Every structure is written in structure tokens, then in C-alpha cells.
């Protein structure tokens, strides 16, 4: 890791599992670090040298207005109900990535360091059905619940898991 991370508590990569936003202040130097869980479940935001778990508070502090709107993000929000790929509704504010540590120097310098989260995606040679076979076989002894939203994807998942013999509740 970069020398900027000197002083960061040892074992930062071994933070607990779950959904969280973690900030660390090193009092002697004033350096701060901010990161979210490695699954990206928690949403936290960065705008210049400021990080926050509240998008609205950060937008208010950054004093963004109509001229700062991210038009692509706005279209995504209206079409899908979400803004993807780390973007937000404003160009100067973005989500902190699951694989990032935001390093903030007291001088206002911002550096982004990659955490090096291992890739857990399936190989192109593995079909989605094969991946679900592995999932079903590994969960045979567990209590599993499938939440049906009415969409085609959740209904199809229930049909496939049933065909694989996984006992689950709906």
C-alpha cells in the first residue's frame, strides 16, 4: 500500500463482515480514512474532502443545485428507480466504492486506494444454472427463504431451486 497509509491501524483489510460505513481518524496526524463494507451494501458518499453516510447532508454542504445535476443519473433514477455505477444525482458527489479506501489529508488532499477485494464472479465457462446448482447443494442443510416479488427473476429462481431439490420457504 502507499506510504500515505502509514499510521492506518494494522489489519484494516480484516474488518468485520456485514453492512457498515467505517471512518478512522488518526489524531496525531489528522489523517482520516473512510470505507464501506466489501460487499457494497452500505451507501456512503464522497464530495471533495468530505465523506458522509447521508447523501442529502452532503448535497446541502456542497451547495449543489440544478446546474450540478448529473443528467445521466437523473434519467437512470426516473427509469430504474436507482442510480448505478457509483454515480449520484449530482456530478460532484459519488458513492464510495466497495473496493475503495478514501484517504483524507488535513490539507484537503484526497487519495483513493484500492482495497484489493477478491473477485467472486463466476467464470464465463460456468452457466448460471451450474452456479445455482452449487448454491443449492451448499444450502441443503440450511433454512432457506425465497422472497417472491412477483417479478420474472424471483419466480424463475424459485422454479430452478425447486427443480434442484432445495427445500425452501416462500
pLDDT band at 41 (very low <50, low <70, confident <90, very high): confident
Could you read off the pLDDT of 51-97 as tens digits, one per residue? 999 999 999 999 999 999 999 999 999 999 888 888 999 999 999 99
Angle, vertex CA 39, rays to CA 86 and CA 62, nearest 5: 35
Give CA separation, 83 vs 34, 88, 95, 101, in Å. Answer: 21, 6, 10, 21
Total Cβ atoms within 10 A of residue 98: 16
137-150: pLDDT as tens digits: 888 888 888 888 88
Strand 100-104 to strand 110-114: parallel, antiparallel, or no bridges (unpaired)? antiparallel
pLDDT value, residue 86 = 86
Give this prediction's pTM.
Answer: 0.64
Residues β-bridged to residue 44: none
What confidence tens digit (pLDDT) does each residue in 3-40 have? Answer: 445 555 555 545 556 789 999 999 999 999 999 988 88
Contact 45, 52 (CB under 8 A): yes
Buried b (16+ CB within 10 A) or exposed e, 41-56: ebebbbbeebbbbebe
pLDDT, position 9:
55
Mutual orientation of helices 128-138 and 152-163 as an angle, nearest 10°? 60
Q: Whole-angstrom Cα distance, residue 136 to residue 13? A: 30
Q: Given this model, what pLDDT does residue 32 score? A: 95
Amino acid at each position: 500500500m502507499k506510504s500515505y497509509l502509514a499510521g492506518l491501524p494494522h489489519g484494516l483489510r480484516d474488518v468485520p463482515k456485514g453492512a457498515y460505513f467505517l471512518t478512522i481518524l488518526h489524531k496525531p496526524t489528522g489523517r482520516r480514512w473512510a470505507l464501506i463494507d466489501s460487499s457494497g451494501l452500505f451507501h456512503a458518499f464522497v464530495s471533495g474532502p468530505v465523506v458522509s453516510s447521508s447523501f442529502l447532508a452532503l448535497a446541502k454542504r456542497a451547495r449543489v443545485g440544478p446546474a450540478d445535476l448529473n443528467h445521466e443519473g437523473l434519467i437512470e433514477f426516473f427509469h430504474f428507480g436507482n442510480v448505478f455505477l457509483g454515480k449520484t444525482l449530482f456530478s460532484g458527489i459519488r458513492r464510495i466504492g466497495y473496493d475503495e479506501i478514501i484517504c483524507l489529508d488535513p490539507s484537503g488532499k484526497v487519495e483513493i486506494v484500492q482495497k484489493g477485494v477478491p473477485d467472486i464472479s463466476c467464470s464465463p465457462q460456468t452457466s448460471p444454472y451450474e452456479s445455482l446448482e452449487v448454491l443449492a447443494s451448499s444450502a441443503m442443510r440450511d433454512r432457506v427463504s425465497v422472497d417472491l416479488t412477483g417479478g420474472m427473476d424471483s419466480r424463475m429462481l424459485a422454479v430452478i431451486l425447486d427443480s434442484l431439490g432445495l427445500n425452501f420457504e416462500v
